[in-house]
Amino acid sequence: MRLPRGWTREAGAILLLGMALCVLGVPPAGAEDPEVGAARLFLERAAGALQAEADLLEGLAADPHLGGGRGMIDLAGYLAAAEVRVWEIEVEANEVARGALPDDAVAYRRALNRMDDLQERVGELVAASAGGLPLPGRTCPIDGPAEFSQTWGEERPWGRAHQGEDVDADQGTPLVAVESGTVLQAGWHRQGGLGVWLAGYCSGDVHYYAHLVRMAPEVHPGTTVEVGSLLGWVGSTGNATSPHLHFGWIPHNRVAGPT
């Protein structure tokens, strides 16, 4: 079928105009600006992340200490970490939205408002019972001069791999709790010698101290310690050729045998 000559000219002009708009970076009518699409996608994901944070915070507020494989999680420690994560999400959201959230960012606004309300309520709960909570924060596990050597994953005899980091220090240098928590185990292991397994309150992680020359008298399974409390002293017991601390970190896990 032959098209009218005038229509052909108009179609050609429209085609040329469309090509020019593409070259200039102007999206066709009805197409979404890629930056707007990226901002919308980020806000959708941010809303999901905020809802997950709020769900977990609500659960912790109902029962501040959770047991199981993750160990004990302190509500105040989690709240502080959650506040940082929420702040980071807000900063990035303002950047991708160029300071003005789109009208359809309803889910993000709802999730952010929910998290803000929860942070305020949980903060009041923590403040009201702060006297009974363990001290937050972390410190170096060796209270004295020390030298660190990265030995994680190094080969060991009989096909083993080193599952920890070695921190060299003089015999008898004090070893302290890296964070507040509960002593899970304290005793002898053929490879690690005298050792202590500490479950952190705020992190839910388990910290393993090996090769101690001696443990503090009050350290035994079930002992509650504050960050910086004395656990023992650097030694070379077990499979060690010089005084040092074998420091193991087991994130959100049950106690495993030392290597």
Between 15 and 54, where is the model more confident?
A: 54
Mean pLDDT over residues 59-72, rounded? 53
Tens digit of each residue's pLDDT (9 = 90 or more) over 69-115: 333 345 777 777 788 888 888 888 888 777 667 777 888 989 999 99
Tens digit of each residue's pLDDT (9 = 90 or more) over 177-208: 998 989 999 999 888 899 999 998 877 788 99
Q: Give yes or no for residue 215 having a pLDDT over 90.
A: yes
- Tell me which H or E stretch contains 187: strand 181-189
Mean pLDDT over residues 55-68, rounded? 68
Q: What does DSSP say about strands 230-233 and 214-215: parallel, antiparallel, or unpaired?
A: antiparallel
Nearest alpha carbon to residue 150 among 167, 136, 138: 167
Give the whole-angstrom CA distance, residue 218 versus residue 106: 55
- Tell me which H or E stretch contains 212: strand 206-212
When the pLDDT of each residue in the chain is averaged and rounded to a whole number, the result is 76
The DSSP symbol for 131 reads G
The DSSP symbol for 70 reads G
Between 163 and 9, where is the model more confident?
A: 163
Give the whole-angstrom CA distance, residue 6 versus residue 2: 12
Non-local CB neighbours of 210 within 8 Å, separated by 6+ positions: 164, 189, 191, 192, 193, 194, 195, 238, 240, 245, 246, 247, 248, 258
Give the whole-angstrom CA distance, residue 74 versus residue 226: 13
Mean pLDDT over residues 42-67, rounded? 80
Tens digit of each residue's pLDDT (9 = 90 or more) over 154-177: 665 556 665 668 888 999 999 999
Which pLDDT value is given to residue 254? 45
Structure tokens at 17: 């105009």
Non-local CB neighbours of 218 within 8 Å, separated by 6+ positions: none
Which pLDDT value is given to residue 71? 33
Q: Give yes or no for residue 28 having a pLDDT over 60.
A: no
Q: How confident is the model at residue 238 (pLDDT cuts 50, 70, 90)?
A: confident
Q: What does DSSP say about strands 174-176 and 165-168: parallel, antiparallel, or unpaired?
A: unpaired
Non-local CB neighbours of 41 within 8 Å, separated by 6+ positions: none
Percent pLDDT > 70 in the chain is 68
pTM score above 0.75: no
Q: Give yes or no for residue 66 having a pLDDT over 90.
A: no
DSSP-derived 3-state class of residue 43: helix
Which pLDDT value is given to residue 34? 64
Tens digit of each residue's pLDDT (9 = 90 or more) over 103-147: 778 889 899 999 999 988 888 877 766 555 567 778 899 999 988
